[in-house]
Amino acid sequence: MGPALPLLLGLALVSLSPSPIAGVHQDEAYEDYAYYDYTEEPSTISDYDLSWLTDLFDVLDECEPNPCLNNGVCDNLVEGGYKCTCPRPYKGKQCEAREDPCKKAKCGRGECVLTDKAPFYECVCELPFRGPDCRKVSRCRPSPCLNGAKCKRGRTRTQFECLCPAGYSGKFCQVGPDDCMVGNGESYRGSVSVTAEGKACLPWNSHLIPNAGEILANSVDGLGPHSYCRNPDGESAPWCFIRKKSKLDWDLCDVKTCSVPPTVPVIHEATDPPTPAPSSGQFAQCGKPEPGRATARVFGGSKALPAAHPWQASMQVRPRGSFTPFRHHCGGILVGSCWVLTAAHCINRMHEMQVELGGVNLDKAEDSEQIIPVERFIIHEDYRETPDALHNDVAMLRLKGPKGQCAKETRFVKTACLPSGPLPDATECSISGWGATEQDSYSSQLLSAKVRLISKDRCTAPTVYGNRLDDSMICAGKMEGGVDSCQGDSGGPLVCQKDGTYYVYGVVSWGDSCGVKNKPGIYARVNHFIDWIAAKLLSD
Ligand code: 4AZ
**The pLDDT of residue 28 is above 90:** no
* DSSP-assigned letter for residue 59: H
The H-assigned helical ranges of 189-335 are 212-217
- The pLDDT of residue 503 is 96
Residue 409 falls inside a structural domain: no
DSSP, collapsed to helix, strand or coil, labels residue 25 as: helix
Average pLDDT (52-80) is 77
Q: How far is the CA of 514 from the centre of ligand 1 (A)?
A: 6
Contact call for residues 498 and 423 (beta carbons, < 8 A): yes
Report the residue count for the chain.
540
Residue 217: pLDDT band with limits 50, 70, 90: low
**The pLDDT of residue 505 is above 60:** yes
Those residues with Cβ within 8 angstroms of residue 418's Cβ, 6 or more apart along the chain or in another chain: 286, 335, 503, 504, 526, 530, 533, 534
Of 42-56, 104-118, 308-322, the poorest mean pLDDT is in: 42-56
Residue 99 falls inside a structural domain: no
Q: Which of 111-120, 262-271, 527-536 reaches the highest mean pLDDT? A: 527-536
- The pLDDT of residue 244 is 82
Q: Same domain, yes or no, for 312 and 399?
A: yes
- The pLDDT of residue 324 is 95
Ligand 1 atom nearest the C-alpha of 515 is 4
Of 20-34, 94-108, 238-252, 312-326, the poorest mean pLDDT is in: 20-34
Greater model confidence, 217 or 448: 448
- The pLDDT of residue 278 is 34
Domain boundary among 349, 376, 404: 404
Greater model confidence, 74 or 58: 74
- The pLDDT of residue 29 is 32
Of 53-67, 81-95, 296-310, the poorest mean pLDDT is in: 296-310
Residue nearest to atom 2 of ligand 1 (CA): 487
Residue 239 falls inside a structural domain: no
Identify the CA nearest to 248 among candidates 214, 190, 199, 213: 199
**The pLDDT of residue 50 is above 60:** no
Q: Same domain, yes or no, for 426 and 521?
A: yes
Domain boundary among 339, 369, 404: 404
Q: Same domain, yes or no, for 422 and 400?
A: no
Q: How far is the CA of 148 from the centre of ligand 1 (A)?
A: 56
Contact 490 CB / ligand 1 (< 6 Å): yes
The domain in which residue 443 lies consists of 2-13+416-527
This model's pTM is above 0.85: no
Greater model confidence, 504 or 4: 504
**The pLDDT of residue 199 is above 60:** yes
Domain boundary among 379, 404, 429: 404
**The pLDDT of residue 46 is above 50:** no
Average pLDDT (33-48) is 38
Of 72-81, 238-247, 348-357, 460-469, the poorest mean pLDDT is in: 238-247
Residue 452 falls inside a structural domain: yes
Contact 433 CB / ligand 1 (< 6 Å): no
What is the Cα–Cα distance from 327 to 317, expressed in whole angstroms? 6
- The pLDDT of residue 218 is 57
Of 216-225, 287-296, 410-419, the poorest mean pLDDT is in: 287-296
Instruction: Report pLDDT digits (tens) over 73-87.
Output: 999 998 888 999 999
Average pLDDT (374-378) is 97
Contact 486 CB / ligand 1 (< 6 Å): yes
- From 346, 486, 509, 517, mutation site for ligand 1 pocket: most ligand atoms within 8 A of C-beta: 486
Those residues with Cβ within 8 angstroms of residue 403's Cβ, 6 or more apart along the chain or in another chain: 281, 338, 540
What is the Cα–Cα distance from 106 to 122, expressed in whole angstroms? 10
**The pLDDT of residue 511 is above 50:** yes
* Residues with a known catalytic role: 345, 393, 490
DSSP, collapsed to helix, strand or coil, labels residue 106 as: coil
Q: How far is the CA of 342 from the centre of ligand 1 (A)?
A: 13
Those residues with Cβ within 8 angstroms of residue 216's Cβ, 6 or more apart along the chain or in another chain: 114, 115, 116, 204, 205, 224, 225
Three-state SS string over 485-515 comes to CCCCCCCCEEEEEECCEEEEEEEEEECCCCC
Contact 449 CB / ligand 1 (< 6 Å): no
- The pLDDT of residue 43 is 42
What percentage of the chain exceeds 90 in pLDDT?
Answer: 59
- From 509, 518, 523, mutation site for ligand 1 pocket: most ligand atoms within 8 A of C-beta: 509
Contact 487 CB / ligand 1 (< 6 Å): yes
**The pLDDT of residue 2 is above 60:** no
- The pLDDT of residue 302 is 61
- From 489, 494, 513, 523, mutation site for ligand 1 pocket: most ligand atoms within 8 A of C-beta: 489
Q: Same domain, yes or no, for 314 and 347?
A: yes
Contact call for residues 380 and 423 (beta carbons, < 8 A): no
What is the Cα–Cα distance from 48 to 33, expressed in whole angstroms? 11
Contact 484 CB / ligand 1 (< 6 Å): yes
**The pLDDT of residue 437 is above 80:** yes
**The pLDDT of residue 33 is above 60:** no
Q: How far is the CA of 366 from the centre of ligand 1 (A)?
A: 28
Average pLDDT (521-525) is 98
Q: What phi and psi, each to the nearest 5 degrees, are found at residue 396? A: -120, 135
Ligand 1 atom nearest the C-alpha of 514 is 4
Domain containing residue 318: CATH number: 2.40.10.10
Q: Same domain, yes or no, for 480 and 509?
A: yes
Residue 399: pLDDT band with limits 50, 70, 90: very high
How does 255-269 read in b/e, with b if 16+ C-beta sit within 10 Å?
A: beebeeeeeeeeeeb
Domain count for the chain, please give it: 2
Contact 485 CB / ligand 1 (< 6 Å): yes
**The pLDDT of residue 32 is above 80:** no
**Which uninterrupted H or E stretch holds 249?**
strand 247-252
Identify the CA nearest to 229 among candidates 258, 260, 207, 250: 250
Residue 18: pLDDT band with limits 50, 70, 90: very low
Residue 66: pLDDT band with limits 50, 70, 90: confident
Q: Same domain, yes or no, for 444 and 348?
A: no
Residue 496 falls inside a structural domain: yes
Those residues with Cβ within 8 angstroms of residue 34's Cβ, 6 or more apart along the chain or in another chain: none
Residue 491 falls inside a structural domain: yes
Contact 478 CB / ligand 1 (< 6 Å): no
Q: Same domain, yes or no, for 427 and 399?
A: no
Contact 506 CB / ligand 1 (< 6 Å): no
Average pLDDT (294-315) is 65
Residue 210 falls inside a structural domain: no
Of 89-93, 107-111, 200-204, 324-328, the poorest mean pLDDT is in: 89-93
Q: How far is the CA of 513 from the centre of ligand 1 (A)?
A: 7
State the chain's mean pLDDT as an integer: 82
Residue 472 falls inside a structural domain: yes
Q: How far is the CA of 345 from the centre of ligand 1 (A)?
A: 11
- The pLDDT of residue 86 is 93
